[in-house]
Structure 1
Amino acid sequence: MNGVVHPGNGRTAYHFQPAKYWQNDPNGPLYHNGLYHFFYQYNPHGPTWDVGKLSWGHSVSGDLVNWAALENALDPTAPFDANGCWSGSATVLPGGRPAILYTGIDADKVQVQNVAFAKDPSDPLLREWEKPSCNPVIPIPADVTGNNFRDPTEAWRGRDGLWRVGVVAEVNGVGSLLVYRSADFLRWERNAAPLHASSQDVPVLECPDLFPVTAASGASEGLETSASGAGLRHVLKLTDFAKEDHYMVGLYDDAADTFTPAEPERGDDPGNWRRFDHGHLYASKSFYDARKKRRVLWAWVDETDGGGVGRGWAGIQAFPRAMWLDGDGKRLVQWPVEEIETLRRNRVGGVEWVTEVEAGGRKEIAGIVSSQADVDVVFEVPNLEEAETLDPKWLVDPRGLCAEKGASVHGGVGPFGLLVMASGGDLEEHTAVFFRVFRHLDTYKVLMCTDLTKSSRKEGVLKTSYGAFLDVDVEKNKFISLRTLVS
């Protein structure tokens, strides 16, 4: 069965974006005094990335869906951030005062770590932030090469009462995650050994995250970032220079500040670890939502056409996702936060659609006329006899397989899926999200692909394919479900 969705055009509807200009990395999301706060890298002067003009944009929400924009939280106004307020994280200190740790590009264009505090913690909007004169609180170390020293994590407290923060750095040419400790959030001392060090082939890492997850089978509750003790594991996430977010589940020891991976066979290079997403997604940042007791992930979907000079804006944030540890203890499960359901409360324009499509055919899902859609589809796969045999070389390159066997290439079982944002009757422009099923040894492999080769008529846009093999027992279940958020 192939479905065609025509949701219209225009700005995104429920994916976060400011009213105008450039945005990139999500920064310092937190829940405080009844409101969600979202900060993000923002150029308040235009729709392009400008290293020396980056600020922290700031918006608030009561439900993670509807957002109100505020004045910037941080602007480059001091010698220690004169050339930009780069990425970082937010932490609520004892007594309820929020603090921001962020990378500043100083007057000499050196990357340093700074702190800012909410001026009035009782203000539910946290509209004003102050930067103490003791900044930078963590200057660049002498052994850092390439001026690569940035992106502090959310801070957490060890059982000794000291704060910890992780900062990625190129240490003598090796991509590393350094750990610093502090008793007062102002004076920080570096731990002798890094929490992670990659091989010489990975000199630069970005946007780290370290957070605990409940290890009990079936548990979906999140944990506060400083949680420790039996019955939990930690997730270490790093972004590599290919702009892909990778993570590893493991055990974190807060006495030695060491991390032991659950899958050591995947090696030290994050490019071989598991991924949050196999699409166009970058620089993710998670936070603990105390209101709903869940771990929520934000991530930036960056530009592929050189920025938004013509339209006046660039970049969106993927819709926030709740995350928890799967029963195997090695991978994360994620799902859009439940608040998205409020957007279809009255089912205005809702469509319930059941059909059968002949092999090679397609049918339009009629009735979707707005610029946004939340599409749940279940594809029945009753017969696997015609499944092609998988060439083992593709096991390590599912993206390449998606590119070679695109949405228009007929296969044994598949492709079947959706053609989203499809133009008129000619389908000259569309994005294909589809599946194929292959026979491999004595089982079946399900390949999921996103094909952007016809996503735009515009020249200069990156039109690539993404793909991954899914852990789905299609032989047993006889169906595959797909949820697609179009905005």
Structure 2
Amino acid sequence: MSRELMQENIVKAQQEIDAKKEIVKNGKMRQHYHFMAQTGWMNDPNGLIYYKGKYHFFFQYNPYYGFWDCMHWGHAVSDDMLHWEYLPLALAPSETYDNHLRGGCFSGSAIEHDGKLFLMFTGTANNGNGFEQTQCIAYSEDGIHFEKYEGNPVLTAPEGVPSDFFRDPKVWKHGDTYYMVCGASRSNRAQALLYRSKDMLHWELFNVLAESRGEWGYMWECPDFYPIGDKYVLMFSPMGAGERTVVYLVGDFDYETGKFDYHVNGEIDWGFDYYAPQSFEAPDGRRIIVGWANAWDWMPFWKDWGPTYQEGWCGSYNIPREVRLMEDYTLQFVPIREIETIRTDAWQKENMVIKQEKAIVKAGDGVSFECKLTVDLEQTDAEQLKVVLRCGNGQQTVCTFDFTKSIMSVNRNHADGWSKGVSESTLYLRNKKELDVHILSDQSSVEIFTNQYRNNHSLNIYAGSAQNQTYLCSCGGQTVLKKIETYGLKECNR
């Protein structure tokens, strides 16, 4: 009966999607090359995997309307992580452990096991004892149609961990054993709990992989753990850590004890709209991460949720990024090379001098474009370089590189009449001869990478298509660009 109920709920949701998708896809704020759902609300990436010759993206999904509610798992496949085919929903609430209005099938991950595609997800229910989060299994023979395991839930919160702070399992295999890291909170201290299993169904708590002493908040959402080079990376989205929304730790891991010893930490992104990234391995060995291009703090549950909600949708994903380990054990987060396949209208110029007057930059249609520039720091005597994006109708987004104070900032207070905030980070300039900048703009987002892709800002801006001008200007001197190149980016989503 429960199997039939999930299928009924999937059919019901699909009818809602089919009834609205043609109207929603014409929304003025819809992205052109970033991943989105067809309708409704979308948040965390789930179950990212390359399986049977396709990239699979699963995602937290409310197909009914453009704000968060009872969670389903959406599903889409791609050959290049840019052009997508939407498949039937993978999971819908249907059981006592996941069938609640403010619960559902929360975040999780995917892995191939015994020739099947397994999903591990957090079921969230409320049976009168507050929110209860448990870890559950679903599986599929064809990678499209899923069945929940009859023995669910396979894990409940361990002693000392509140049942509403036990979620987001990320699973992997090492040798002949499966491992899983799960976010938790114990005594108001964030933890990443490490479990292991021989069969994906029966799990034992192995150790506390790592924990916060207060510096990284009271709860780690969407933890992920993976090898890179000769090191391991733990990344998570901390709750209660101020402006930090995505932290990574690099160190050494011992499979004998299940303990992680980290000695490097950093931010994946300093912008307002990058959260809950999940990683997976591409068939060529690249470690790819995908983040949700939103965050919870700007989303009040009691008033207007912004321009996309009015169009019947909310949420997209940032461009997938390749994770690379540097010699000093910090990490780079480089936009996937597949973006080069949708480039058009190339323009470039070398040895360009930027003064106080506006230097107009041609970049595709000025809405969906890519811009890469290299600043010659030895020849530059300006105090600041301003990169002004999506200008028009008296509105603009301003990225400032302050060479005297070593600060990078992105100001969206005048971007669209709705968005607010200035994101800020340290600009690493010591002993550097040049500064690299890489910008990806889409209909309702900008992503700016610098310092060799180690200092990144992702922000949503809801700018109309008439806001299509880009220019550069210097303050307090002149900026010398060794090279600037721009491209238009073709639409992938319609």
TM-score by structure 1 length?
0.77
1:468 aligns with 2:460: no
User: Partner residue of 1:434?
Assistant: 400
Could you tell me which of 283, 292, 312 is aligned with 2:284?
A: 292
Change in Cα spacing, 1:452 to 1:34, as seen in structure 2 (3 Å) is same
User: Partner residue of 2:60?
Assistant: 41
Cα distance in structure 1, aligned partners of 2:126 and 2:162: 19
User: Partner residue of 1:115?
Assistant: 137
1:64 aligns with 2:81: yes
5+ residue gaps, structure 2, are: 1-27, 300-304, 443-494
Aligned partners of 2:171 and 2:178 also within 8 Å? no
1:197 aligns with 2:207: no
How do 1:116-155 and structure 2 match up within 5 A?
116-118=138-140, 120=141, 123=142, 126-145=143-162, 147-155=164-172
User: Partner residue of 1:366?
Assistant: 362
User: Partner residue of 2:112?
Assistant: 92
Query: Which deviations, in whole Å up to 9, do the C-alpha atoms of 1:154-207 show, x marking residues without a partner?
Result: 2333x5x3221111111233211111121111111112x411121257322211
1:377 aligns with 2:373: yes
> How many residues are matched?
396
Cα distance in structure 2, aligned partners of 1:358 and 1:288: 41
Deviation at 1:54, TM superposition (A): 0.7
Aligned partners of 2:247 and 2:267 also within 8 Å? yes
Cα distance in structure 2, aligned partners of 1:57 and 1:432: 35
Structure 1 residue matching 2:64: 3-state secondary structure: coil
Bigger fraction of residues in strand: 2
Deviation at 1:106, TM superposition (A): 2.6
Structure 2 residue matching 1:341: 3-state secondary structure: helix
Structure 2 residue matching 1:342: 3-state secondary structure: helix
User: Partner residue of 1:234?
Assistant: 232
1:260 aligns with 2:277: no
User: Partner residue of 2:188?
Assistant: 173
* Matched letter for residue 486 of structure 1: S
Aligned partners of 2:222 and 2:237 also within 8 Å? yes
Deviation at 1:432, TM superposition (A): 1.3
Cα distance in structure 1, aligned partners of 2:59 and 2:432: 44
Structure 2 residue matching 1:340: 3-state secondary structure: helix
Query: Which deviations, in whole Å up to 9, do the C-alpha atoms of 1:305-330 show, x marking residues without a partner?
Result: 625331111111000011111011x2
Cα distance in structure 2, aligned partners of 1:181 and 1:358: 57
1:321 aligns with 2:314: no
* Matched letter for residue 114 of structure 1: C
Query: Which deviations, in whole Å up to 9, do the C-alpha atoms of 1:3-59 show, x marking residues without a partner?
Result: xxxxxx642111111122110111110001110000111101110011xx1111111
Stretch moving more, 14-23 or 172-181: 172-181
Aligned partners of 2:123 and 2:134 also within 8 Å? yes
Cα distance in structure 2, aligned partners of 1:292 and 1:205: 30
1:185 aligns with 2:207: no
* Matched letter for residue 389 of structure 2: V
1:23 aligns with 2:23: no
Cα distance in structure 1, aligned partners of 2:400 and 2:245: 21
Identity rate, percent: 29
Cα distance in structure 2, aligned partners of 1:380 and 1:454: 29
* Matched letter for residue 255 of structure 1: E
Cα distance in structure 2, aligned partners of 1:285 and 1:340: 19
Deviation at 1:98, TM superposition (A): 1.7
Let me know the Cα RMSD of the aligned residues. 2.1
* Matched letter for residue 199 of structure 1: R
User: Partner residue of 2:408?
Assistant: 448
Change in Cα spacing, 1:162 to 1:368, as seen in structure 2 (3 Å) is closer
Cα distance in structure 2, aligned partners of 1:102 and 1:456: 37
Deviation at 1:470, TM superposition (A): 3.6
* Matched letter for residue 267 of structure 2: R
Aligned partners of 1:42 and 1:54 also within 8 Å? yes
Cα distance in structure 2, aligned partners of 1:342 and 1:70: 24
5+ residue gaps, structure 1, are: 1-8, 215-231, 264-272, 387-412, 439-444
Aligned partners of 2:62 and 2:68 also within 8 Å? yes
Deviation at 1:361, TM superposition (A): 2.1
Cα distance in structure 2, aligned partners of 1:42 and 1:103: 14
Cα distance in structure 1, aligned partners of 2:309 and 2:30: 14
* Matched letter for residue 59 of structure 2: Y
Aligned partners of 2:325 and 2:331 also within 8 Å? yes
